[in-house]
Amino acid sequence: MVTIGRLSEVPVAGKTVLLRLDLNSPIDPSSCTILDDKRFREHLPTVHALRESRLVIVTHQSRPGKKDFTTLEGHAEKLEHLIGRPVSYIDDIFGRCAREAIRSMRPGEVIMLENVRFNAEENLTAKPEEAVKFHLVRNLASFSDIFVNDAFGTAHRSQPTMVGLPMVMRSVAGLLMEKEVFTLSRVFENAPRPVCIVLGGTKADDSIAVASHMLERRIADEVILTGVIANIFLAAQGHDIGQPSIQLIDQLNYHKEIEMARDLLEGYPDRIILPRWVAVREGGERAEYPVTAIPQDAPILDLGMESVLAMSERIRRAGTVVFNGPAGVFEDADFSTGTYELLKAASEVEFSIVGGGHTTAVVEKLGIDDDFSHISTGGGACIEFLTGKTLPAVAALERSKELFG
């Protein structure tokens, strides 16, 4: 059971609150225009809840070496537009300019400090006991009363602001962080049965880690596999999946995953559900074959309709479904059926979670986002959570509650 401090438990009116957000967003490198404000909108409830505080926002954009590693002036403008009150951009992180700006703040005012990853220390991976010694952590903590961490999308990274600040001051989860942690925790504790995990996409190493944890702990009653991970399991069963699909597995260096898949199939033959029909591109068009007769020169790009119908029916019978990763090349209309239909089935289940990333974009395109119980904002963080790992930022918040209440 996760035990972290909640925003509702701390008095914030008139306090200087250091708020860690994840506003890392798609940006046009030529104009530095923010192309999608979804991350901003997800944090709005927390920002609004802190409207009576002196609010100091710490966040990041991209990382060193990337074209979209920019200042946060545009981010401050975007947030100002969304909350309907001024957000002052400070071209500093903890120097004199930042300290003076914070010292002169009045309750209700909001400032956004410069991209925290402009400071070299924030780009280091550090244990909490190491992070507390960093200049970044000590200085940020020195001018704040309370630390609120709402950056679930970065919760799997053991970076100084994420794990160091909770060790030196009273720290609680923001509303988004709280919602993510407690909703995802429900999958492990009191989820309606049966529990069905649907894993697709190309990140087979992550998916196998999730499948293994869910099956070994008997959290999942069924694990449905699609996409590249399904191809790996089909190969592990001895099926000839065709040269293009084998070459993709080679390119992704997933050789050891085939062995891991073989072990899981041996241990849980009745709880791992694989496609029996697949769709390939043949002569420039969609063609469907049973997995026992896949053409040698045709890439697998989607589920076959027989498998779409069978898997959709299994999903609809579930009490809980966790969906992560597309079933095929959904960007191509000829091969989007599997992804679309399985997501539609998942949206009808009593307790339904989408694991972020590409899957979220498809859900929004289909206009069924309101039909899901929860759509996670953190792809990597969500996956790590579902493998049973304790996220560094969550562990730090738990420890902070022990230290400071």
Domains of the chain with CATH codes: 7-180+391-404 (3.40.50.1260), 193-349 (3.40.50.1260)
| Amino acid 326: pLDDT | 95
Compute the chain's Rg from CA coordinates. Answer: 23
pLDDT 10s digit of each residue in the chain, 405 long?
789 999 999 999 999 999 999 999 999 877 889 999 999 999 999 999 999 999 999 999 999 999 999 999 999 999 999 999 999 999 999 999 999 999 999 999 999 999 999 999 999 999 999 999 999 999 999 999 999 999 999 999 999 999 999 999 999 999 999 999 999 999 999 899 999 999 999 999 999 999 999 999 999 999 999 999 999 999 999 999 999 999 999 999 999 999 999 999 999 999 999 999 999 999 999 999 999 999 999 999 999 999 999 999 999 999 999 999 999 999 999 999 999 999 999 999 999 999 867 798 899 999 999 999 999 998 889 999 999 999 999 999 999 999 998
Structure tokens belonging to residue 271: 């709880």
Structure tokens belonging to residue 372: 């899901």
Q: Which of 222, 203, 221, 249 is nearest to 355 (CA)?
A: 203
**pTM (two decimals):** 0.93
Residues in the chain: 405
Q: Are 171 and 149 in contact (CB under 8 A)?
A: yes
Q: Which of 16, 34, 123, 32 is nearest to 81 (CA)?
A: 34
Q: Which of 109, 181, 169 is nearest to 139 (CA)?
A: 169
Instruction: Cite the DSSP H helix spans in 217-251.
Output: 227-236, 243-251
Q: Which residue has the tokens 């403008």?
A: 77
SS3 196: strand
